[in-house]
Amino acid sequence: MNDLLGIILAGGAGQRLQPLTSIRAKPAVPFGGKYRIIDFVLNNFINSGIQNIKILVQTLSQPLINHVSNMWPSAPMYNCFVQSIPAQKRMGEDWYKSTADAVYQNLNMFRDNPKFNRAAIFSGDHVFKMDVSQLDRYHMDKCAEFTISAMVVKSELASRFGILQVDNQCRVIGFEEKPEHPKEIPGRPGFCLTSMGNYIANIPALIEVLSEDANVEKSTHDFGKDVIPFMLKKGMRLFAYDFADNRVPGEEQVYWRDVGTIRSFWEANMDLVSIEPQLNLYNMLWPIKTSPDFTPPAKWVFRQSLLDNAIISGGCIVTQAEIGDSVLSQRVRVEKGSVIQESVIFAGVTISEGARIRRAIIDKNVMIPPHTHIGYSPEEDEARGFKVSEGITVVPKNYVFAQ
């Protein structure tokens, strides 16, 4: 795969994930106790054998750049490059106008590196596991110019995605971006074939179509809204790859989540804590690596602490507390008599004595005062200025409770 360049689109503002994205880019949001969202696509690329990766960053990018540079330093001696690239020029009030424009502004990646024949263009804000080499082989077997990773979803959920129509050879013959009434799969009522926003493209074809799209005044310069329909009109060879066929070593099922909302982010964290988790972080045949945190081991002190289906990260200290179906990040302190249920606690948080947390996401460096209840009354939570979304309460980073 030395002729395949990995490109990660990591510039989204993540408005629906506020307030978690008020101080960091969406791909930099902590996840699963010790990871960042971007770690999943990065590990998929590295585990698949892609050694040259460009990360296109934009909004609130410094935490993301810091994380990537700490974990994935480039090693030219071994021909391994993981580089964060900011927008190259400003267009009006925006930097990158959209996904296709982000790649277009960096076409020099291809011109300066003629050894690359194809590009894997993936979103940086999805939680999933995928062997990209299988997608690449499919792309080449089909003699495709552009291949879209796709999955089947229920019709009632499909309006959030780009909807594909394919022939019996899986060649794409139709595409609609987030239609109000999505077309169902022929012979499978109630289901639609959706784009995952992950692509393999032949670089000469990609340069041609992005250069043409850049000169279209009415275009929003987005792959889904503009570029894919444009390629179909040009008669280019577009194919859909069924993500359900992808097999990661050591795993029997596929996993993918768009964690673009508070609810979906919370659900993805909850997927980690069951006895047989939907997302397995412990498969050493497909490791998910992240920045080292250098924390000491987690610690439980005194008896009567009750833990049930929980992830407890390094540096945590739990004292006679009850924790169930929850994820605790590094250096969380949980004091006597407190209860945490179905919650995600970010690094450096203190849950003081007698506090009760339910269905909440607590961002970094918050001290929950003694006997405080969060997640039990939406009205009280909103009165404190917390966001409550579909039953999930979010406490922003560095929040200070009134005395």
Rounded Cα distance, 271 and 327, in Å: 10
- pLDDT (0 to 100) of residue 301: 86
Q: What is the pTM of this model?
A: 0.93
Domain co-membership, 233 together with 308: no
Number of Cβ within a 10 Å radius of residue 387? 16
Q: How many domains does the chain have?
A: 2
Domain co-membership, 255 together with 325: no
Q: How many residues does the chain have?
A: 403
Last residue of a domain, one of 270, 288, 317: 270
Rounded Cα distance, 210 and 207, in Å: 5
Domain co-membership, 134 together with 241: yes
Q: Is residue 289 part of a domain?
A: no
- Residue 368: CB partners within 8 Å, gap ≥ 6? 349, 350, 351, 352, 355, 357, 362, 374, 395, 401
Domain co-membership, 132 together with 245: yes
Answer whether 161's CB lies under 8 Å from 178's CB.
yes
Which tokens in the block code for residue 42? 């990065």
Peptide bond preceding 19 in cis form (omega within 30 of 0) = yes
- Across 102-260, the runs of DSSP E, i.e. the strands, are 118-123, 126-129, 146-154, 162-166, 172-177, 191-202, 238-242, 255-258
Specify the CATH number for the domain of residue 237.
3.90.550.10
Nearest to 135 by CA among 225, 244, 229, 260: 244
Domain co-membership, 43 together with 140: yes
Answer whether 17's CB lies under 8 Å from 271's CB.
no
Q: Which residues pair with 255 in a beta bridge?
A: 129
Domain co-membership, 183 together with 263: yes
Domain co-membership, 121 together with 229: yes
Q: Is residue 47 part of a domain?
A: yes
- pLDDT (0 to 100) of residue 334: 97
Q: Is residue 403 part of a domain?
A: no
Full domain range(s) for residue 387: 299-395
- pLDDT (0 to 100) of residue 138: 98
Specify the CATH number for the domain of residue 307.
2.160.10.10
Rounded Cα distance, 39 and 52, in Å: 15
- pLDDT (0 to 100) of residue 219: 92
Domain co-membership, 266 together with 304: no
Domain co-membership, 218 together with 167: yes
Q: Is residue 206 part of a domain?
A: yes
Measured in whole angstroms, the distance separating CA 229 from the mean position of its chain's CA atoms is 25
Q: Is residue 276 part of a domain?
A: no
Instruction: Specify the DSSP class assigned to residue 75.
Output: B
Amino acid letter at 291? S
Rounded Cα distance, 153 and 159, in Å: 10
From the first residue on, what is the mean pLDDT of each consecutive set of 10 residues in the chain (403 residues)? 92 86 93 96 95 90 88 69 77 70 91 92 95 98 97 90 93 93 90 95 96 92 94 96 96 92 96 90 94 90 81 95 96 96 98 98 98 97 96 97 86
- pLDDT (0 to 100) of residue 231: 96
Q: Is residue 149 part of a domain?
A: yes
Domain co-membership, 255 together with 379: no
Domain co-membership, 260 together with 306: no
Q: Is residue 340 part of a domain?
A: yes
Answer whether 85's CB lies under 8 Å from 68's CB.
no
Domain co-membership, 327 together with 187: no
